[in-house]
Structure 1
């Protein structure tokens, strides 16, 4: 995956920042033990990490996560090769995007957005808006596609194929690039269908020039991942589509925008609607409440704009320190040298 012939890269902060300590529901930055105690000791104690034994266990969890991240690229490439060679697809048709998978109302929205007179005001007539947080619900897929897709994912889950965690906070789910769905499904969905919509909704965060993504499916079930702690995404714009199956509770909640936080954030709660998606800015702080029964599968697409994130990494809030990556990496482009020339923000010219 290249952007104008350049490989996509990652920011070095991936190995040190935003490390989630599951047992205490806390994101930390980790350089060494002394720094961890200084920067996060109090927050850990407040969350119940009081003894040296408990601190040691948290430290081991953090160090294991750092090691996992360092091996991630190599292991992901290996898994993808094994899956490509050996996995027996149950529904091969779902791997290539077709208009018939998309809800007629979604296609109507895309038609509007690609028409010469399209504007934000006109687009909003087609969408359900939530508060002033720029969160929108829209139909995306047909019910039939969702059922076939979840059936395929369950088939993969039950196979003996190697499986990577979708991200640092979800243990259950599937990385769609490892399944071989990036080139034939997610990329055309982003480029042809989603970008005309995001260009109107989010021009200020790169919605008109989303040139890469990370796509995964997460699964919530009673004896697996129940909920998701408060966080923001490594994305400029996120699409979260509810694929089913039958579940109760498990609503999403949204707080402040990460770069505009208030002392007492106002949260709003939004229900999942099958086959429909929520679009929101990646920096919108959010989480998922526990499900009460059943199983919930969601497709998450983190969409990224290199011309925005090349200026400032959304995860460390600094100019990115670029390191090599595989595939779309974390959506950065540029040169690996520290003295890389300034990039032009193409979105500001759009």
Structure 2
């Protein structure tokens, strides 16, 4: 949901002269900030404060999320002033009776033992390549699958998404859809899960990405886009061939009962080669299993086949690296990760070797070689 409307504040009246014997100092008042607009896009470089101890009908995570949208003049004021400012915004934006209250508050703080299966948690705690490889399968180069989420967590998150969507429909709000291709689903950050998802990326996905995706910024992930997508009757049915706006993508099936909906992968490509042909060794079809995750490069071309029955919901976390994106602007060769760049490089090497051999043969007269 967007919180970019103007916030009106009244300025205090100027002090008068009182009894005529000179200026009378006005009593101290809380700061006022005049008319301000929230940032349409969050300030991703700002680290918000924690609000766990704030007494409010709103979940503390909502304040942390909203803080990144505050105008620059508000970022350095005392926390109490921020809280009051944000409470007024929320009161204006969501009148009484129209507020979406979290259904499962335990979702908004990441509790590892409740969220993750023990094998995944142990691998991350050990934090070694060997520990990761014990739980990972690699059905095709650069695509890793593993058991990740507890069934109970999947059920809670599905309930929370459904609760959010019911509220959206009831109050007739328009929400931002996950991306340009999916019409059904929701951005998880929009209802207070930003802090939880950021912790998921930093503490549980980044350690794996550092080992398996260092060439695409896996060791410098610093932002995310988290969302759920829905497939089935009266929802999206399939997803076309595409690449993600991420360096590393986590895709976890939450459920429910469904058939079809397989992911198909067709090789990693840079911008220049995104539409080049697929090689036989790059073809992989993957069937979703609730609670099981798929981790791959965002530039790994893929799509989803039609969900033929039932209802499928997946949680996705697009993990991004601002350092990698900046450095990529100055590169022309991506043979460390682009399949087509690798083939072109090998072909150049083959041609160079052939030319060297030909020159050698000519130099020797070709008589005894």
| 1:110 aligned partner | 124
Residue in structure 1 matched with residue 155 of structure 2 by the alignment: 147
Provide runs of 4+ in structure 1 moved above 3 Å.
1-6, 81-85
**SS of equivalent residue, structure 2 residue 189:** helix
Q: How many residues align?
A: 241
* Stretches of structure 2 lacking an aligned partner (at least 5 in a row): 1-41, 48-68, 70-88, 333-369
Match of 1:86 among 90, 93, 99: 99
Unmatched segments (≥5 aa) in structure 1: 7-72, 319-350
Please report the TM-score for the alignment, with normalisation by the length of structure 1.
Answer: 0.63
Alignment of 1:324-339 (within 5 A): none
Structure 2 matches for 1:1-350, cutoff 5 A? 82=93, 86-99=99-112, 100-113=114-127, 118-119=128-129, 123-132=132-141, 134-159=142-167, 160=170, 161-183=173-195, 185-259=196-270, 262-266=276-280, 267-312=283-328
Change (3 A) 1:109 1:155: same
Contact 1:3–1:211 (CA under 8 A) maintained in structure 2: no
Offset of residue 122 of structure 1: 5.0
Residue 215 of structure 1, CA deviation: 0.6
TM-score of the two chains, using structure 2 as the length reference: 0.60
Q: Distance in 1 between matches of 2:44 and 2:306?
A: 39
Structure 1 residue 218, shift from structure 2 partner: 0.5
Q: CA deviation at 1:178?
A: 0.8
Counterparts in 2 of 1:149 and 1:82: CA distance versus 1, 3 Å = farther
Paired residue secondary structure (1:110): helix
Deviations 1:62-118 (A, max 9, x none): xxxxxxxxxxx9xxxx99x957981122222212211111111110110121xxxx2
SS in 2 for 1:285: strand
1-structure distance, mates of 2:94, 2:110:
20
1:4/1:271 CA distance change after superposition, 3 Å: same
